Structure 1
């Protein structure tokens, strides 16, 4: 029987195999070079946002931190951190690398704790971020429920702007946050779980001249009183300004701008000021008849609020319990 000669493989297949082998070899070499110090350095830069603060945190010189970062960028073949006068900001490639660097460094920390045989019950406090408006509207009841279920677990609450809280979640500084949905580009590596949609109300103190008006006051009449609104570069402020523009008005000069619900509440309760506020922030005061909603059309259903956390992070049991309490309180309200 005549032996059949093996047919030569197509050149495209040979080239593809060679490219895969080269990529695998490059990955093996990079894995052999990468050390925990590289990961710790990169995480410190991402969290501290300047090379100087990262160096101080790691007890290293700034040139040493810079050299380590340059090594990482050379191996990656891309810039991971943009350096400038305002500090160090991660690039898209840097944010992608950070997700895995955080998981690796935390795994090492957990392993060290296991070797040290530390008490498994001595768990660190949960780190929760929330917008100022959400913090007053949703957190109190949710945290009371959580503490009833996990009395020994501490919770550290951090309030800030949505963008800053989102940055902290990505950097692993927060376990989860309750905030607004951001642009898709800002949500890379972050999951969003919808809780509720936020609407705005116009409220005044009980006994206010506008509250005693038998008819619905005009927006012009409302703007005849001192105004309390959210600060600039916030979603409630953006929707307030858009609402005014739709009706031919602008934000009046002399308005009081604040992100503090407690400050705004005291000002409105003790004066004739008018407050444009997210509904859930004012609802308890409206129910108690301390504040009164004015029948002026205001932006409705303008902002989806939800739970945001790192997509690759393992959901700790205690964090899952807290998230469930947030869901239940959002639904109940």
Structure 2
């Protein structure tokens, strides 16, 4: 309520007494869609209902909350701040409802995890299996996607936790990171690759082959680029970017390309002899893998249990 009151007070103190949840839900939807018709569709309401809610808010505030333009309804800066405060407040209300339901012995609410590539094959599957044994009725959603999209969803309150490679420096001040273990990259190829039997392969030799690398903007891609730059080499011209071990495996098995991915992420492929780890001269620096949550976020009991399982699953892996 403090967060919500601050956003309302910035626009007009009277809104703290008059604004309704329906009006704030309309405000959030229009801020995101910048169009009342699309906002109404997202809320499954009639367009006049959403338009009326926004008009009532603006009338009570005594000021416009959106700038009308040919591109749509552009939220003012105080409007964007209020929408963000309302998103997080509603998320906290849902957290409270989930904890209250637990007092009655009911599972309510949903835990949403943003899973970056490594975590989808390491740590998270074990943690989810153990969590499911303890809480068979708890609803868990695992989302994947680029880090920037995950971070935006975390800050909006639509994702509870991000699990994966941590960022250095911290991308923004309203999130916190918890390191769990350190990961290292590896160069992989298909069995029978021309470099399969070589040892201590220098980077210059590796650079002559096509590569499959993690996406630009990821810590892994930055590590690869930094290593090439340190040896005065340009990145290979032939690059496919993907964080998917499945795509990387199938791409590498069809030619002489090389892949660079987490050694742990590739463990199953190497163990089953679908791929092979090359013996390179490169000594990869560690990448910190861990949790990212909103600053000040207090988990529900169910969320705390899942966090405990994630930490337990990571405990057997070398720590930073």
Q: Same fold (TM over 0.5)?
A: yes
Bigger Rg over Cα = 1
Hey, what's the Cα distance between the residues in 2 that align with 1:248 and 1:182? 25
2:277 counterpart residue number: 292
Shift of residue 191 of structure 1?
2.9
Alignment of 1:189 with 2:174, yes or no, is: yes
- Residue 123 of structure 1 is aligned with which of 108, 111, 116? 108
Hey, what's the Cα distance between the residues in 2 that align with 1:87 and 1:72? 19
CA contact under 8 A between 1:125 and 1:156: conserved in structure 2? yes
Hey, what's the Cα distance between the residues in 1 that align with 2:40 and 2:265? 41
SS at match of 2:264: helix
1:166 counterpart residue number: 151
Where do 1:179-328 residues align within 5 Å? 179-182=164-167, 186-213=171-198, 215-289=199-273, 290-301=275-286, 303-328=287-312
TM-score (norm 1): 0.73
Relative distance call for 1:237 and 1:157 in structure 2 (3 A) is same
Relative distance call for 1:130 and 1:300 in structure 2 (3 A) is same
Hey, what's the Cα distance between the residues in 2 that align with 1:245 and 1:275? 18
CA contact under 8 A between 2:119 and 2:164: conserved in structure 1? yes
SS at match of 2:251: helix
Hey, what's the Cα distance between the residues in 2 that align with 1:283 and 1:85? 49
Structure 2, gaps ≥5 residues long: 1-8
Relative distance call for 1:256 and 1:152 in structure 2 (3 A) is same
More helix by percentage = 1
2:3 counterpart residue number: none
CA contact under 8 A between 2:209 and 2:236: conserved in structure 1? no
- Give a deviation string over 1:114-166, Cα, whole Å, max 9, x none: 89xxx863524421111123222332222222222222223211101111001
Relative distance call for 1:108 and 1:232 in structure 2 (3 A) is closer
Hey, what's the Cα distance between the residues in 1 that align with 2:121 and 2:143? 12
Which range moved further: 125-134 or 60-69?
60-69
CA contact under 8 A between 2:112 and 2:160: conserved in structure 1? yes
Alignment of 1:29 with 2:14, yes or no, is: yes
Alignment of 1:145 with 2:130, yes or no, is: yes
Structure 1, gaps ≥5 residues long: 1-23
CA contact under 8 A between 1:231 and 1:258: conserved in structure 2? yes
